Structure 1
Amino acid sequence: MSRTTTSAAEVRGVPPRVRRPSLLTLVIVLVVGGLLAHGWTQGAAVRPDSLATGVFRLGEFLSDAVPPDTDRLAPILKSLLVTVEMALLGTIIGVILSLPLAVLAARNTTPHRSLYALSRGVITVSRTIPDLVWGLIFVIAVGLGPEAGVLAIAVDVMGFCGRFFAESIEDIDPGRLEGLRALGAPRFGVLVGGVIPACTPSFVTTSMFALESSARSSVVLGLVGAGGIGIELATSMTLLRYDEAATIILAILAVVVVFERVSAAIRRRVLGGAEQR
């Protein structure tokens, strides 16, 4: 005579693979559903009539923008050069600031817990506040112009690179650092002889990603008065000079593509060299 065992799930009539959702899951579903319903009723959703009107207006914009106007090409290129300089300088400053911050924010290299908590807090604040908000803050602090844009990019890059640099340092083989400490290497010697060589490929690739992001951010920061080509674009759009705006947009596109290609080439070279070693 055979016995049949019945699971608790079968007794309750619930398939074994189905689990009752937790209270947190239900709360998240209700909150998301409420936000979607509120957005739909308040006009945040894309309606078919507004979408059709938008397509028509976009067609008008394109008809006015073609062909692009190159009468002011010289000042546009000058502003574009300022934008490139903002991205480069802001990224370099941010990467330099993020290196000691990452050392303090990594558990295996920080000298004290309080410094670890403080550096992690600085990274979190600089990362969570959007670069556009940083731009507004520095415009108030130092005034209109590229200086505010450079500072905004530097703070944003510091938070971005600081986080990933710290994670890269924490992923180092503990035996590598312990071996140097066992040989009597000081803290600075451990950093130079163990941390930097092991993390250089990761540091370079992260910095290149930050540079790509800075190239795009430097354009947007100009819209709030932080210097660069963004001011020219905002002026052209406000004055309905769509043909001039088209020239600026094409120039921005070219610069961003160049940044991405150069960044990708450097990453491939660095990663290829690291794999060969």
Structure 2
Amino acid sequence: MTLPNPQPAFDRLLKQQRRQWYRTIVTWAIALLAIAICCFLVGLWDEKRLSDGIPSILNLLHQMLPPDFSDARNWVKPLFDTLAMSVAGTAIAIVFSMPLSLLAARNTTPHPLLFQVSRLILNGLRSVPELIMGIIFVAAVGFGALPGTLAVGFHSIGMVGKFFAEYIELVNEAPLEAARAAGANKVQVIYHGILPQVLPQMMDLTLYRWEYNFRASTVMGAVGAGGIGFELIGALRLINYREVLAVLLVILFMVILVDGFSSYLRKRLV
């Protein structure tokens, strides 16, 4: 009895592996070429221009030293405004993202039309930068922390809702089937089968988004939306670089505090 020759199968497998390697190499080559073209278009290959900018940067750093904290007592309220903007904006994002994410997830949406509409809303909110939203809300409700909060919150809805929907779509179907077999309705399936699986991820994303929103809130002052960013922009307009450095150091300190507190909450809650 003659055994079958395994050579043809081995050759086919080898050719298939080679084709896969060729595709991978071509894909990486195209990606690297696209990156190189983009770097050329924005001037990253312009060595003369980059080298000429080094003395200007060093001169600017010289003008920023030492930092001027003489007006620091007037930054306390703007700092708390910025912190409040980040907390309130994150709360707005979570409140609106939860129902939108359930409509934007394929396994929980009640109708394909609602799925498309909710996805369109999330994409639209995510595509508008916070600064543009800040300009719109300043024109609508006036100056202060309120337009900054609304801008940060509504932009966050688009991002948070998208991730929440993806978390929901990736849940294990076994608990959902068990809940349906036990006679649970759709709301009970979501409450008992989906939320226990995604809540840790949602909490982690919420804390991360709060960190991001604090940093985003600091630049809302550029459009008159209040906060410590307004003090930073004011110092820049007066070309007071020593005060600019002082405000930046204060912002850095607050970012470190927010990041540390967020990490503490993540360990305790997630």
TM above 0.5: yes
Quote the Cα distance in structure 2 between the aligned partners of 1:79 and 1:205: 27
Do the aligned residues in 1 keep the contact of 2:207 with 2:266 (CA within 8 Å)? yes
Q: In the TM superposition, what whole-angstrom CA distance separates every residue of 1:242-274 from its partner, at most 9, and x where no partner exists?
A: 121111101100111111112222223334xxx
Per the TM alignment, residue 26 of structure 1 is displaced from its structure 2 partner at its CA by: 9.6
Cα deviation per residue 1:70-97 (whole Å; 9 max; x = unaligned)? 2211211211111111111101111111
Residues in 2 aligned to 1:65 and 1:34: alpha-carbon distance in whole angstroms: 35
Q: Could you say which residue in structure 2 is the equivalent of 1:245?
A: 244
2:202 matched residue in structure 1 = 203
Using structure 1 for the length normalisation, give the TM-score. 0.81
1:223 CA drift (Å): 1.4
Q: CA deviation at 1:191?
A: 2.2
Q: CA RMSD in A?
A: 2.9
Question: Hey, what's the Cα distance between the residues in 2 that align with 1:32 and 1:251?
Answer: 36
Contact 2:39 2:45 in 1 (8 A): no
**What is aligned with 2:4?**
none
Do the aligned partners of residues 112 and 246 (structure 1) sit closer, same or farther apart at CA in structure 2, a change above 3 Å counting?
same
Q: How does 1:23-34 map to 2 (within 5 A)?
A: none
Structure 1 residues 246 and 105: alpha-carbon distance in aligned structure 2, compared to 1, 3 A threshold? same
How does 1:134-153 map onto structure 2 within 5 Å? Answer: 134-153=133-152
* Cα offset, 1:136, TM superposition: 2.2
TM-score (structure 2 length as normaliser): 0.83
**What SS is found at the alignment partner of 1:185?**
coil
Partner amino acid for 2:183? G
How far is 1:49 from its partner?
Answer: 3.9
Structure 2 CA distance for aligned equivalents of residues 63 and 131 of structure 1:
32
Give the aligned partner of residue 11 of structure 1.
none
d(CA) in 2 for partners of 1:32, 1:183: 54
Partner of 1:111: 110
Does residue 223 in structure 1 map to residue 209 in structure 2? no
After superposition, what is the alpha-carbon deviation per residue over 1:161-197, rounded to whole angstroms, capped at 9, x for unaligned? 1111111111222121222222222322222222222
Return the letter of the residue paired with 2:87.
L
Which structure features the higher share of helix residues? 2
**Residues in 2 aligned to 1:131 and 1:146: alpha-carbon distance in whole angstroms:** 13
Residue 118 of structure 1 deviates from its aligned partner by 0.9
Opposite residue 110 of structure 1, the aligned amino acid is T
Secondary structure of 1:223 counterpart: helix
CA offsets 1:195-246 (integer angstroms, 9 cap, x no match): 2222110110010111111011101222122221111111101211112111
Kindly provide the CA deviation profile for residues 38-82 of structure 1, in whole angstroms up to 9, marking residues without a partner as x. x26xxx446444434432232233223222222211211211111
Residues in 2 aligned to 1:204 and 1:58: alpha-carbon distance in whole angstroms: 41
Residue 155 of structure 2: aligned partner: 156
Q: Distance in 1 between matches of 2:207 and 2:201?
A: 10
Unaligned runs of 5+ in 1: 9-14, 272-277
Identify unmatched segments of 5+ residues in structure 2.
1-6, 13-17
Residues 113-167 of structure 1 show CA distances to partners (whole Å, capped at 9, x for unaligned) of: 1111111111111122222222222222222221111111111211111111111
Aligned pair count reads 257
- Equivalent pair of 2:87/2:210 in contact (CA under 8 Å): yes
Identical residues among aligned pairs (%): 34
Which stretch of the first structure deviates more once superposed, 111-120 or 262-271? Answer: 262-271
**CA 1:33 to 1:187, structure 2 compared with 1: closer, same or farther past 3 Å?**
same
Q: 1:63 is matched with which residue?
A: 62
